[in-house]
């Protein structure tokens, strides 16, 4: 069961995107400082090696710096993408590839909430049509909700892709406290949230973004005796898949 569809306005979509980036940036601040600190130390070591003519040792420092830069880029690029204007129109892409592009960011955020992450790919042919920016925006909203549900005790998060007939599906499942039955029908209603100091826009915006391309987001009861929450994201399978 689900509430009547409420289409998020362009203002709500933009406001939610900025709010989401702000929350994720707060969580990432410490993780960004670590490679920056490492880079500062290695730049000083590099300067000393070059000054003393130790070319091989200098190359070792350069390799370490390259790894730190790559790590920063992998973590921050999804946030930068959320702040950029979207492409001129939807594009066709593999679900697994799009999820994989977000994994470096999710992999950093999850341990901050004491969460382990598993991913089950949908497999070849799981093609969907959507703005890539909208896809990232929608999925990060759902993942952010799951990580919030798992604080402070931690738990497990699973991203499971499947192909079901004419649909490509992605289930985001957490092992948190679950959602009370009396709240299920209000999920996705702007202004309603099961957590304090949250706008409730995340799910509403994510649902609206998927419905723009013929997709849907639904809450699914978790398997018996397992608890937690499961959200299904589904798209029409792209022609030619």
Over residues 193-200, mean pLDDT: 62
Q: Residue 220: is its pLDDT beyond 60?
A: yes
Cβ atoms within 10 Å of 13's Cβ, excluding its own:
19
DSSP 60-86: HHHHHHHHHHHHHHHHHHHHHHHHSPP
Using pLDDT thresholds of 50, 70 and 90, give the confidence band for residue 69: confident
**Residues 4-59: pLDDT tens digits?**
445 566 767 777 777 777 766 666 665 566 667 677 777 787 878 788 888 887 77
Cα–Cα dist 21/132, whole Å: 16
229 Cβ neighbours under 8 A, 6+ residues apart: 146, 149, 173, 174, 176, 178, 179, 219, 222
**Residues 135-180: pLDDT tens digits?**
988 899 899 888 888 888 889 999 999 999 899 999 999 998 887 7
For the chain, domain boundaries: 10-26+83-236
The architecture in CATH of the region 10-26+83-236 reads 2-Layer Sandwich (3.30)
């Amino acid at each position: 069961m689900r509430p009547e569809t409420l289409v998020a306005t362009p203002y709500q979509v933009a406001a939610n995107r900025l709010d989401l980036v702000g929350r994720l940036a707060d969580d990432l601040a410490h993780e960004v400082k670590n490679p920056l600190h490492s880079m500062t130390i290695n730049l000083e070591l590099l300067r000393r090696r070059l000054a003393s003519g130790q070319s091989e040792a200098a190359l070792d420092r350069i390799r370490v710096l390259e790894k730190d830069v790559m790590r920063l880029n992998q973590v921050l690029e999804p946030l930068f993408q959320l702040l950029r204007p979207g492409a001129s129109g939807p594009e066709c892409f593999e679900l697994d590839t799009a999820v994989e592009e977000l994994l470096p960011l999710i992999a950093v955020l999850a341990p901050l909430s004491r969460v382990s992450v598993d991913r089950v790919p949908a497999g070849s042919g799981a093609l969907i049509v959507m703005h890539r920016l909208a896809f990232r925006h929608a999925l990060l909203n759902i993942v952010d909700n799951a990580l919030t549900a798992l604080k402070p005790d931690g738990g497990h998060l699973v991203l499971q892709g499947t192909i079901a007939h004419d649909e490509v599906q992605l289930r985001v499942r957490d092992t948190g406290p679950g959602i009370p039955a009396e709240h299920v029908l209000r999920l996705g209603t702007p202004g309603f949230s099961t957590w304090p100091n949250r706008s409730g826009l995340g799910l509403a915006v994510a649902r609206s973004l998927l419905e723009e391309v013929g997709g849907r987001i639904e809450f699914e009861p978790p398997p018996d005796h397992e608890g937690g929450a499961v959200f299904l994201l589904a798209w029409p399978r792209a022609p030619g898949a």
